[in-house]
Structure 1
């Protein structure tokens, strides 16, 4: 029984980036650089180092280190949006504190981390927007603290370097987010591929079960039915017609040998050791060893070498099933098996003069098996037979690579030597 596979997650579309930065070393390295520069400048200051100012400067940077460590341990993969907003505000406040105690001015670079962090937490729009706001606020601070700063190359250089730092930080954030999303898509693709592989394995197993069931029904089932009929005939004629009984027993032995041969042929085919299959020979042998009631006439025209073994085998199994049904259910006295291997299609017709089909024809396993065989080959199976007029089974399979148009009217289907094949009659 085939069960439905678990739903496979779809691709990520419009997914917000995760909060935890995929490059966690950036902020600690920047903190360390600011700490080293600020302490060095403070120690070399004109007025000498001041313990309170230095303590506030170092304490603010240590607090920033602690916030980063706590976030990575508490939320190793994704920081919730509300917590990310709170942590961004805490970091911004600590940046202000560190800048207030920094006389060197190097701590202003810490504000680059505001859009950098926001990019990971809230996306590209938030990161770029906060970057622009940071640059504007820095220019406003220069305007308040140093009127006419735009005429001072030092301030212009600071603003330019801050802008370049923003561009580099946002570019790094964009690359890191793209790489993380690519990894996420790759992982999801792996999950989907695993699920699809499991589904394919289930479907392959189910198809193989159906194929084996069809082979058992069409091959062994046919021959076992024939053996049963021949043994019944042997039992019935044993005392009245010794020759007929011996012939029926011989036909039963042939059916048993044929069943064993077909099993071996199937095994060889699985091992890629099978011999070329001859449909005309197989049909002739099949009819020759059938019971004389009903009588069977075989007509074969065309060249079967145009068709691949799968098509020929499907036609043979259809003939087997149709003849078995005619013997068991149709009460027919005569059956005609016609096979035409044309340029564009092969057509098998099995017609009997039996009782025909009931008003509601049953869709038995044999007919379903025929359809399952020819459907992958592009073929069709039709069944006609009003009550009292006999039953006709027609199986059509197109030749691989042949044009779909029918052959021109009046074309003569000939055998391998150019002449129509003789009829085989049982």
Structure 2
């Protein structure tokens, strides 16, 4: 029997066995890769569902950033939202705690690698951030970062912002699959952002329509126009989500405006403030053109304005009404550091302002019609009193006079009849006085009010002072203040402004005139030298004090900080006062 080969005696050949192991290992690797791809697809699908499950834009942006970090397994992530001029206006971060963010300071404005993605909105993958030619390094306190993957987020073919991912976990590099997944997520993010913005625009439009309806209803129901102006300011602030909104209206026959309504931060400081013709508000009123600014308080405005009283950042001013007849000026602003207002908000507020102006015009025509009806009714009453009442009373008096000659023998009766005739004469005089009063009131309806007189007084003093005093007026000064009280207030204003010009050597004066219906208050503050304690002749101050005590009020003088004097003249108003 022949002997078998040694290979057969040792069993199965070694080479085929090793080949099978390699095939099994390769198959296991492919299965693991398929599972990893499946898991990544599931992660991507979950991320797409997550970012599309909410319509609040802030929530959507946060979820986009968190999902981007998850799908590419990055340590850090951020979404930079672009504003006007291609600068980053919002920066949402993931992976960096609040303490580190505070230590870094302000978020980036679009320099270095971030700026490169803004200028060239295409996916960018880097093995080392620091070695790129566009790298500008990190600010103090910033965590170290090496690998980088970025991709733009487009909304309707416009770049909304950029996704920035750094430091893939495990020390690996971002690969082609990471870039492809991020591209897909960015596309889904663009759709989600667009939906959220459409929803936000729809919600704002609903608020605008509801506010316009409420405003029109209030005006046409007879609500006080001054109260309606405050309602307009509050509504605009809510719609624009602004820090401060002011509404300035013009004086009759002048170039100045006065802030009748204000809502938000610093509203009490600017309400009633008179705006000279050199301010932005006056320019908007006369040109009917909208003005926008990144820093309202830094705009050149001779004479100040609300931006000189309250530090303001981004904002815009627009006319209340059309080009032919603007009824006032709306100013919508944020405090320094606040966000700029998007064009959609400006357009919405502009539409609401036009609606408000139309409603105000309709209400004004209605008030004029009611006023005309009152005047017509007064004229009819006066005519009836003259043609009917007086003529009949006069005829009755003549009849009684003719009777007196027949009663000469009865002196007691004559005396009583004569008394009746005299009473009729007095009644005729009273009726005539009433007629004249009705007609005189009609002529007085066009008289100059206290507000206009205060403005005129401060304007006249500007020549003596060398500058225009800041004037703030609050309350129904034209209707709630009797003529006597108004005369006293004007005399006090002239004296205090004269003192500021002649003795105080002031470079700034603030005048505040206000009433709440129960008291009248005048406050004049300057930054001059103050009152000299050694001065003995103070007849002017004595006159001011006497004008206050004669009306049951008071006069106080206090130092102004850091220099100058504050004069406060306060008197009570009589109940039921009629200016």
Q: TM-score, normalised by structure 1?
A: 0.29
The answer to which structure, 1 or 2, has the higher relative contact order (CA under 8 A, 6+ apart) is 1
Larger Rg computed on CA atoms: 1
